[in-house]
A = this chain, B = another copy of it.
Amino acid sequence: MATGFRARHLSIVGLGLMGGSLALAMRDHADHITGIDLSESARDYALGRRIVDCATEDLYEGVNPADVVILAAPVRAIVEMLQMRIGSCLRSNTLLIDTGSTKQDIVEAMANLPIGVNAMGGHPMTGKENGGIEESDPALYRNRPFVLCPSRRTTPAARLRAVALVETLGAKPIEMDAERHDQIVAGISHLPYLLSATLVATIDNQAQADAAYWELAAGGFRDTSRLAASDVTMMGDILSTNTTAVATLLAQFRMQLAMLETMLIGGDEERLSDSLQPIRQARVEWAQNYENRR
């Protein structure tokens, strides 16, 4: 975190878990922090806890004085702000970053911002089981990957500044294009969510006829089904802005499942075991690396 990032006026649009945690982590690196949110209770909370210096529901008023703006809102809300209103409110040379979970639609919308706005797509790979500004945590971004996706409005200077901002949060900047990002998260995040939800739907369906399914379900089911409890509005926003990549990964998943099932049904135990062993190994190695990185 030995970086020189400093904002004169940081404006954060969206005072939820992401925005609140950003404000806390940037406290000592910005002269002034403005929070923008339509929810009065989120603004009051942020002001009351001195998470932000001032708060407003007016997007123009909130972002106009800023030299750094972070859009911490759902994907389609970010796209809408980029398409409709925000470009004309920003000063020349403002650094604009977002935290949306899918990046292609956002980076495309960034391309049409006025020249002079320096925009970089962003996706911090972090979160908590429960959202809301009450959960804000200055360490939320620490040691986590923060993907940066350049847009047509990313100048070389903006790129350096975005990296410095991410490092100031304690996060690890990883630059890649938006399409690649969206494919990867389709695999590691959106596919697991759909599998988890479908597993719960399958058991729920069986349990209509026999409630013992719920009664006997234990730790293995708990882990595999955990993502099914995710916020449906948030996941709908994410899935709907990443349909193509999710469909591709689902097709890959189906193919892999069919291979394992064929061995199982065919009683080909040796091949099944030979397939499951490297899968186990891959999971064990990944988990070790993952825990070491945290």
**Measuring CB to CB, which residues of chain A are less than 8 angstroms from any residue of chain B?**
125-127, 144-145, 147, 174, 176, 180, 183-185, 187-189, 191-206, 210, 212-233, 235-236, 239-240, 243, 246-247, 249-250, 252-254, 256-257, 260-261, 264-265, 267, 269, 272-273, 275-280, 282-284, 286-287, 289-290
Contacts and interface: CB of A to CB of B under 8 A. Distances in A.
Nearest to A235: B276
A150 B283 CA distance: 38
Contact of A280 (B125, B229, B276): B229
Give the copy number.
2
7 contacts: A188-B217, A201-B260, A206-B252, A218-B290, A226-B283, A229-B283, A240-B264
A90 to B, nearest CB: 30
| Residue among A252, A273, A279, A290 with max Cβ neighbours from chain B (10 Å) | A279
For the complex of A and B, the 7 pairs showing the least CB-CB separation, nearest first, are A192-B224, A188-B217, A228-B283, A201-B256, A223-B226, A198-B257, A232-B276
Contact of A257 (B176, B194, B222): B194
A147 to B, nearest CB: 7
A188 B220 contact: yes
A232 B283 contact: no
Contact of A200 (B210, B233, B282): B282
Given A192-B223, A198-B256, 5 more contacts: A187-B213, A189-B218, A218-B290, A222-B287, A222-B290
Nearest to A218: B125
Given A229-B287, A265-B247, A280-B229, A272 B202 contact: no
